[in-house]
Chain A
């Protein structure tokens, strides 16, 4: 259920993102989903990859500041208002979304959204109860 996501601290300078992604690629790690949050000074690169441990090890060896957090991957019904419906469920339960980002996978042809919650277990319970389908972690890594 819980998907391990890698976050990397980046300075907002040209070439930093490319350099990190090259290191990941050279280690033979495949990226499944990616998002970049940025401010004028720094950014946080978030990755979901096929081999979390190898990726973390590679980045740490390269001297990067890395953290691993648990997120949820949710399949979003493919119709207008699909995502809004999920957010309604969360807000009704008083659950705050720290951040989220969407990606599309070839395997399911469905849109997927990665959610980061402060209260992860409460979010899992709420989503399950509302019949919203959470994607298994292994499936996400193998997408």
Chain B
């Protein structure tokens, strides 16, 4: 553990610390950010109404759209002379969301990134290859400062130039790799072409994130690279990488909740959900000075885990790996369904990633869901009853896992339309307007 005092803090002390930090955060936001003051006044809330961390549910949510409306510096709570760094998230629609960090913010972020690296066992003795992009994107600089904070040697590679990444990884004896999970796979692929045996290298852990991935991908990465592949979570609005990271138990990501307070809500109603139930992840940045963040809706879907204390000794709550985005969520007969859940069921049955298409329609007033699954040779049988049994098994598993009944249609390979090599996953034919 990088900071056992914070990471293994008894839970009651942690709640006390969070309460104290929340009070101070709300005051700062109210006093210095007109946007927050207006929002709180609209809801009839004053900073003194917030006494403890439980009161957080009284505060209004903020969204990415709110952030964008305040472009560029409307969310800042301090004058620019106190800001030492600016990052911005890629704005796929319109303007980016801009975040400013005070010197203190950068230190806290570096601390959390260092904790993330230490989750995989990294120490000052390690060499950390940072193959996340450096720039406005928080990935590269975030892990870079984390590695330095840890006292490790940071190797600022940024993304790309894979041959060179592999050469230096080998020549410098890199022990920790930070990149997206798909880039880790690409490194393995290129290393094989270069006839570099990665299993001879002293790699020990990897902090992989910035895109959703699956257990199947983890298994694959750990086969190809001699390291423990750990999931890291972060987003620029909250800080950047290092908001949460898996420990070596690989059973959920520890949220560094002395800085980042997590909640799970029902996306449609905003109602808080208990641990063990999946919904939209909401973060409050308890210590942020530059851009105070209160109940920010991440649009990421996950749940807080309810399986008791982690054997690693960290007392913070853990969040499950990301299950999807609210943007991908389908509501079928009132039930939230994510394409990733369907994929999960299929992977369990087939053992490989199948091509599938979810077709949602409405007949009369009832939503219908059909799942087309391409029949690969590993699924195929020359006997009708076995294919029917497969179809029924998928149907049954979908109903058990998702609580919705779907018509399963087995289709020929390559019949599901692919765009840019990626298959389209959902076709929603409902006319809901």
> Which A residues are within 8 Å of any B CB, using their own CB?
5, 7, 9-11, 16, 37-39, 41-42, 44, 46, 63-67, 69, 98-99, 116
Contact = CB atoms under 8 A, between A and B. Distances in A.
A99 B379 CA distance: 19
Nearest to A98: B383
B387 A63 contact: no
Contacts of A16: 412
Nearest to B415: A11
Interface string B383-400: 110011001000000000
B412 A44 contact: no
Contacts of B409: 41
B408 to A, nearest CB: 9
Contact of B382 (A7, A11, A63): A7
B4 interface: no
B411 interface: yes
Interface in B365-406: 375-377, 379-384, 387-388, 391
B384 A67 contact: no
Given A41-B409, A65-B375, A5 B387 contact: no
Nearest to B386: A98
B413 interface: yes
B382 A64 contact: no
A11 B411 contact: yes
A37 B384 contact: yes
B179 to A, nearest CB: 34
B235 interface: no
Given A65-B412, A67-B377, A99 B383 contact: yes
Interface in B335-357: none
Given A9-B375, A39-B388, A64 B413 contact: yes
A98 B385 CA distance: 9
Given A9-B375, A11-B412, A39-B388, 16 more contacts: A7-B380, A7-B381, A11-B410, A11-B411, A11-B415, A16-B412, A38-B384, A41-B410, A42-B410, A44-B383, A44-B387, A65-B376, A65-B379, A65-B380, A67-B377, A116-B382
Contacts of A41: 391, 409-410
A133 B410 CA distance: 38
A36 B377 CA distance: 18
Contact of B410 (A7, A9, A63): A9
Contacts, number: 55
Given A39-B388, A65-B377, A66-B377, A10 B383 contact: no
B15 to A, nearest CB: 55
Contacts of A67: 377, 380-382
A11 B375 CA distance: 10
A42 B387 contact: yes
Interface residues of B, number: 19
User: Which 8 A-B pairs give the minimum distances between C-beta atoms?
Assistant: A7-B382, A63-B414, A65-B380, A37-B384, A9-B375, A69-B382, A65-B375, A11-B412
A61 B58 CA distance: 62
A9 B384 contact: no
A42 B390 CA distance: 13
Contacts of B375: 9, 42, 65
Nearest to A20: B412
B180 to A, nearest CB: 31
Most chain A CB neighbours (cut-off 10 Å) among B383, B411, B412: B412
A123 B301 CA distance: 55
Interface string B107-133: 000000000000000000000000000
Pick the most buried of B382, B387, B409, B414: most chain A CB atoms within 10 A of its CB. Answer: B382
B415 A9 contact: no
Nearest to B388: A39
Contacts of A37: 384
29 contacts: A5-B382, A7-B382, A9-B375, A9-B380, A9-B387, A9-B412, A11-B411, A16-B412, A38-B384, A39-B388, A41-B391, A41-B410, A42-B411, A44-B382, A44-B383, A44-B387, A46-B382, A63-B412, A63-B413, A64-B412, A65-B375, A65-B376, A65-B377, A65-B380, A65-B413, A66-B377, A67-B382, A98-B383, A116-B382
